[in-house]
Amino acid sequence: MRPIVTALLTLLLLSLSVQAENRVPGITGMGVKLGSAWATMSTNDEVFKTGSSGGFTAGAFLTYSISPKLVVQPELLYVAKGSANSNILNSSGFNCGYLEVPVLLKYNPSDKGRLKPGFFLGPAISTLLSAELYSDGFGSNYSYDVKNGMKSLDISVIVGGEIEFRSSKSVKFIVDVRYSLGLINAVDPTKWNEGRKVVGKGDWGPIHWTDYDRPLLEDNTYAKNRVFSIMIGVKFK
């Protein structure tokens, strides 16, 4: 956490150097954006140790300028997280949907011209909306609702950049690229194991966790979310 705090303080000091001359505090815009998210999990358990899962992300944001070059940007996003693996015979994975609230500190090196780059960093807290463990393929078709085996909140740090294109005085288009690093274990092994007898859906009717190879998690199991996303958006001033 120390490098993150240092980076945030550095951005704040940079903004204060120009704030006295060009003070522009207040809401400077709001908008919406959507795009694709590629998620993986940092884990020590084979249940979650698969490849990248492609998903959807979208939401709204607001910008509050502290100075001409420094902006606080709260957001409200839906973000797909998890992991996946596929081959010619089978597709399997772990899908989660979160409602995420990032609060980003954004630094704009230049506020002139039609193209304006920006760099941002900040924390995010997410509420779990859904979680599914699934397999779809030859000889292995099932889906489990495993929300009761997950922690309801996830905490992460987001770092990224954007390009803002001004099309008119009041409308700007944005390309946003970011990486989200999960800081806590998204799985609760105790609750996961307690709910292992929850019925799922299979080819031959109802099934239980105990029908499969890996019904239980070890007590020290961890799985932390990692998400890379690209979004496009529009901002209204």
Domain residues for 114?
Answer: 2-131+150-187+224-236
Would you say residue 142 lies in a domain?
A: no
Would you say residue 137 lies in a domain?
A: no
CB of 132 within 8 A of CB of 146?
A: yes
Q: In this structure, how many other beta carbons lie within 10 angstroms of the beta carbon of residue 38?
A: 16
Q: In this structure, how many other beta carbons lie within 10 angstroms of the beta carbon of residue 138?
A: 8
Structurally, the chain folds into a number of domains equal to 1
Identify the residue with better confidence: 50 or 128: 128
**pLDDT at position 139, please?**
61
Would you say residue 136 lies in a domain?
A: no
The CATH number linked to 82 is 2.40.160.20
Would you say residue 109 lies in a domain?
A: yes
pLDDT digits (tens, 9 = 90+) for 154-180: 999 999 999 999 888 889 999 999 999
Alpha-carbon dihedral of residues 56, 62, 66, 69, nearest 10 degrees? Answer: 50
Average pLDDT over residues 114-131: 95
pLDDT digits (tens, 9 = 90+) for 166-215: 888 889 999 999 999 999 999 998 888 776 554 455 554 544 444 444 44
14-18, 90-94, 195-199: lowest mean pLDDT where?
14-18
Q: Which of 65, 62, 174, 161 is nearest to 120 (CA)?
A: 161
Token pair 């998400």: residue: 227
Q: Ramachandran region of residue 109, left (φ > 0), alpha (ψ -120 to 50) or beta?
A: alpha
Would you say residue 211 lies in a domain?
A: no
Percent of the chain with pLDDT over 90: 46
Would you say residue 145 lies in a domain?
A: no
Would you say residue 72 lies in a domain?
A: yes
Would you say residue 49 lies in a domain?
A: yes
Of the pLDDT bands very low, low, confident and very high (cuts 50, 70, 90), residue 29 is very high
Percent of the chain with pLDDT over 70: 76
